[in-house]
Amino acid sequence: MDAFGIHQQLIDDYRAFTSGFVDIRDRRLAAHVAERLDSGVQWPDPWVSLNPNFASGGKVADLVADGLLHPECDRIFRHKQHVSDPGAESLLLRRHQREAIEAARDGSSYVLTTGTGSGKSLAYIVPIVDRLLRDREQTGQRRPGVKAIVVYPMNALANSQRHEVEKFLKYGYGDGCEPITFARYTGQERDEERRQILADPPDVLLTNYVMLELVLTRPQERDHLIRAARGLQFLVLDELHTYRGRQGADVAMLVRRIRDACEAPALQCVGTSATMASGGTVTDRRRLVADVATRIFGADVTADRVIGETLERAITDAVPTVEQLRARAATEPANWTYESFVADPLAAWVETTFGLGPDLDAGLLVRRPPTTVTAAAKGLAEATAESPTVCEAAIRAALLAGSRVTDPHSGRPVFAFRLHQFLSKGDNVYVSLEPDDVRHVTSRYQAVVPGHPQKSLVPLAFCRECGQDYLVVSRIDKAGRALFVPRMNNDASGGDAATGYLYVSRDGTRRFWIRRRGKGLGILRGRLSDER
């Protein structure tokens, strides 16, 4: 897949969409709008970021062999495609996922602060499943009731995670044979489904914080779900950074009420967040996250219980020489293999520029802030004395090549990169209240013409049939004189003023179409010099 080709097609389609409604009649205005479109004001250069390469934590089967996980976890956590698929390969975990599994074993609360796409959900799903399997093995039977509650800030996340959990706990087992039961309870359920959940509460309940509040206060839910959750073992708050200010205080109180209502003094709280803290060193951020989590959970969370991601380079040589980059920027190999790509100097430069950088305080690799290909090409051009155009083409080619070359160890692309494109609907065109051949034209919102405070700037509207431009104004009377003042096109209230559209010809003749509530458009004619 050519991500840059798809991106260009998106921009072309959006440009055609936004410019296809009106064929502007005035040549000056048409040229101004075309220049703005060509400059990409509505679609600035996309930000590019690499999905980093995570250090391995071993396969689930390896953790089972080491005694970290219950043997049944190897059957549960596999790559599965459909309901009857038992999964041929054990899931490969990342190091932070393994660290979360190890941290969960002593029952203390912890927080996972890894980036987007790092698999944070497995860092609490696997420990929950492992704990429940071990409890069942000790008692010899499934103890009814809710043992874990996972709280999401919005239903979309709960729905997404419900499907992911289903793939592990239902696929390969058959209907009704899953080792751990789970259910979503967010207010979206049908009456029959809700009654079934209340009659037979699941082991793991997926919900949102608003519904959890209602479960505590509604008699029916409290009698069934809260009573079934006595001795609750896990409470997970996904996207912990969303709980701030008053909402954060409400959720913190909710956690304490759940602990009391469920009679669970040893409740283990887990939080996840990709953007919990920014700035400072890794150590500083962990201390800050631990402090916030302690206040929300009502339980001590130390800095060593804040688990971050461990990244590693996909490319062999992290520091190519200028000579290597200069020679490489002007050429593009015809065929790439995994071995040749991971030894490529430009690939190393791309990974450093868009992906990874050192944190000198912690001695770790951390994610680079996103940047644009254009900005990166300027830096490469300065280092190699090549033109920015050549460097930009070389960077794009390296990114695309990395997305097509597969790592034989993980089966994933060496470079999985993302384009973050911001699209704007654009602004109005503003002109001064003068004949069309001499008026000031701009697309930057301002009250008056720069250097001419006596000349107001007024937004334009265009006829979709003929492309004629009209000034969007209100007509007010002041000291016996009629004045035209700017207004936004979507503001037709006008108060006591007459709102409408003003046309000014080159000879100074003006026509004002008045919009009256409950009536059509009236027309006033006259000379521009008569009324301003």
Residue 504 pLDDT: 72
The pLDDT of residue 196? 94
pLDDT digits (tens, 9 = 90+) for 197-239: 999 999 999 999 999 999 999 999 999 999 999 999 999 999 9
Q: Which residues, other chains included, contact 5 with Cβ-Cβ below 8 Å and sequence gap of 6+?
A: none
Handedness of CA 127, 130, 134, 136 (dihedral sign): positive
Q: Which position has the higher pLDDT, 456 or 279?
A: 456
Listing DSSP states for 398-426 in one string gives: HHHHHHHSBPTTT-SBS-EEEEE------
Residue 39, pLDDT score = 87
Side-chain half-sphere CA neighbours of 4 within 13 A = 15
As a whole number of angstroms, the distance between CA 138 and CA 156 comes to 36
Order the strands of the 416-420 sheet from edge to edge: 371-372, 47-51, 416-420
Structure pTM?
0.79
Distance CA 79, CA 420 (A): 29
pLDDT of residue 520 exceeding 70? no
Domains located in the chain, CATH noted: 3-37+429-527 (no CATH), 94-311 (3.40.50.300), 314-420 (no CATH)
Q: How far apart are CA 528 and CA 207, in angstroms?
A: 65
Q: How confident is the model at residue 518 (pLDDT cuts 50, 70, 90)?
A: very low
Measured CA to CA, the distance from residue 165 to residue 181 in angstroms comes to 10
74: number of CA atoms within 13 Å, CB side?
14
* The pLDDT value given to residue 366: 86
> What proportion of the chain, given as a percentage, has pLDDT over 90?
56
Residues 6+ apart with CB under 8 A from 31: none
Average pLDDT across the chain, whole number: 87
Orientation angle between helical segments 95-104 and 122-139, nearest 10 degrees: 40
Do 301 and 294 contact (CB within 8 A), yes or no? yes
Q: Does an H or E element contain 503, and which?
A: strand 498-504
- What is the greatest pairwise CA distance in the chain? 96
67: left (phi over 0), alpha (psi -120 to 50) or beta: left
pLDDT digits (tens, 9 = 90+) for 127-173: 999 999 999 988 777 788 999 999 999 999 899 899 999 999 999 98
CA angle (352 as vertex; 346, 358 as ends), nearest 5: 150
At 95, the pLDDT band (50, 70, 90 cuts) reads very high
* Pair 229, 145: CB distance under 8 Å: yes
Range 486-514 burial, b when 16+ CB lie within 10 A, else e? bbeeeeeebeebbbbbbbbeeeeebebbb
Question: pLDDT over 70 for what percent of the chain?
Answer: 92
Distance CA 473, CA 24 (A): 20
